[in-house]
Amino acid sequence: MTLGKFVSPPGRGARAMRRFTSLRHLTSLGLLLGLSLPLQAATPSDQSFRAALEDARAKRFQDIQQVAVNGHVLEGYIEYHQLKARLPYATPAEVLSFMERHADSPLAEWMRGQAISAYGRTGRHDALLEVSDGVPAGASRQCHYYTAQLSNDFASASQGGLKLWHVSGSQDSACDPLFSTLRERGVIDDQAVWERMMLAWAAGQGSMVSYLERQLSGNWQQAIAAREQLDGNFAAITRIPTDLGHGGHAFAALSVAAMHGFVRADTEAALEAWRKVSPHMPLSDEQRHEVERDLAWYSLVRDIPNNQGWVDERLAMLDDEELFDLRMRNAIRDGAWGEVREWVLKMPERFSGEARYQYWLGRADDSLGRRDEARAAWARASGERNFYGFLASDRIGKAYSLNRDDQTFDDAQLAEIARTPAVRRVRALMEIDEIGLARSEWFNAVSQANDAGARRLAAYALKQQWYDLTVFATIRGKLWDGLSWRFPPAWQQDFQRYGANAGVDPWMLMALARRESAFNPTATSPVGARGLMQLMPGTAAKVSRDLGLATPSHAALGDPDTNIRLGSTYIREMLDRYSGNRLAAAAAYNAGPGRVDRWLADTPREYDRFVERIPFKETREYVKAVLAYRVIFESLAKGTSDGVRVVSEREVNQPYTTALVDRR
């Protein structure tokens, strides 16, 4: 789950909440927020302010009852809408004054963004620059910003404009004045048009290619013809002249784009062609690196034997962890332990020191009979709190390194946090059902806090049982060792109850939910997975039928009780399918059982090699995280990691083949 996606400008939270609160099964706001203790019902004062906020959003300012607004902790939200409605005619001084008074709230940056957009649309460039604080986020506002800079800092405007120009697709219409001026003044010349055209061609943006082609002068007809020759016949790259375009500047971008397509269409033939023409190509070091990195990556992913020698020669020069990783993983798949050892040792130290690489170095040394070296590598890996650190600890009989750095705060310290304006706004927004805005305020508060402040906020959120906000505080505050905050006991009794009913380890269930949603009960993924355990509606419907329950609505999946019950049953089905094996079941929960069945048909038989050879990086990392998180949850609950194992003895000894699949 991406926590940042819940940061939304004023207005969105209320619309979302009206959908949620209209559902009868949600009996308290606390369920939405991850609170075990529901908040008090909205008071008449809260209801009056909610009405005022709705009027402000609708620009019914004359209907606002000022008695409900004046002195209210959320008064700034009314002022925000009033000032926003006056843009672009509100003065920069008014905007800056608002921002200064609300500097500890997301309202300040929202107002800056609104002012930049409004001033930019109406050509109030001096006003825009007065309220800006460097380059804003987002292409549209950046275009307004650089357009405003044209008259007083043309060099910076040109540099920024060229970055915005060099994209494969269309840009916002806000960029048109900037691009037109830079085109008129020769900054965006035919070469820049050609370079963007090649980006569009490589990305398959045919209409953009045609549009840009029409902007080129007659000097570029030979280059245009060369691109047409290469389109669908990338092998012709060996016959294309290098003196294309005005001054011969077209070839580099053309060849990089052509190789982009060639590598994907036929990696082996692409490398053969590259080796012939590369020495004669007038490319920059950056362009050459881009092509060769592409060639190496596809050669390794597609495991092309004839390309391996070239790849092995280039890896050190390319200095890319993902390429070293792929090379090592291919050797792990083949059981080529000498090569595994070779490639870990060839990695730069900034990569090879990680627990994962040290674990595999230990496996290689152990398989090669180098027992002392293996133990030394595993000892180095065992200091980390992750899947491979735990596996390494098991190899040498060492206790897991949890590396905890928790901190406790007394009631007085937490009460002090509760009195801060930001936290008061969070609570007030919760009380009027503005969940999106409450999260935005919380995220902003954590982002502005120092280390000590982030710790206090995390502790306060945990005390309130705001579990997703607790987790977010550790992420934004980088409190990686604050385990009681990173892995809070969210809905632990429910996980235990439904885990017992389904015959599933509750710590496994909590680990799944922590990885899936970071304990946000209303999380929704881009593909529609919902709730704590991120159930797809179709999966939830099937599981409900199997349990003899009515099909839950999409919104009902935001109810933790419903979501945990169905998720527990579904992971039980996956465990049954894979003979109780949690590694395979976790992979299936993420990627689907059909894929896992196929992977088991073509995978190394050993448990650690099975995980490392999962083709999807997302699923590979998911399985490792879930098993490691399970260790942490159980260790926190017991107060010790003694007796806790990341992988059971049975899972270590099971052969990872299709025999693992129970086809009943």
Distance CA 56, CA 203 (A): 44
Residue of 493, 481, 482 lying closest to 460 (CA atoms): 482
CB neighbours of 265 closer than 8 A, spacing ≥ 6? Answer: 234
Q: Are 578 and 585 in contact (CB under 8 A)?
A: yes
Closest-CA residue to 634 (of 443, 479, 499): 499
Please give the structure tokens belonging to residue 260.
Answer: 């982009």
Q: Is there a contact between 304 and 266 (Cβ–Cβ < 8 Å)?
A: no
In Å, how far from its chain's centre is CA 246? Answer: 42
CA–CA separation, 376 and 363 (whole Å): 11
Give CA–CA dist 77/52, Å, rounded: 10
Cα 140 from chain centroid (whole Å): 23
* Token couple for 69: 């607004």
In 462-507, beta strands by DSSP E: none
| Token code pair at residue 277 | 């023409």
The C-alpha atoms of residue 46 and residue 433 are separated, in whole angstroms, by 10
Q: Reduce the DSSP state of residue 9 to 3 states and report it.
A: coil
Report, as residue numbers or ranges, the catalytic residues: 516
Sequence-distant (6+) residues with CB within 8 A of 221 are none
Q: CB under 8 Å to 324, separation ≥6 — which residues?
A: 315, 343, 346, 347, 351
Helix (H, G, I), strand (E, B) or coil at 530: strand
CA–CA distance, 228 with 262 (Å, rounded to integer): 14
**DSSP line for 276-309:** HHGGG----HHHHHHHHHHHHHHHHHTT-HHHHH
- 227 to each of 206, 222, 358, 375, 489, how far by Cα in Å? 12, 9, 47, 57, 60
Terminal-residue alpha carbon distance, the chain: 34
Contact, 574 vs 589, CB < 8 A?
A: yes
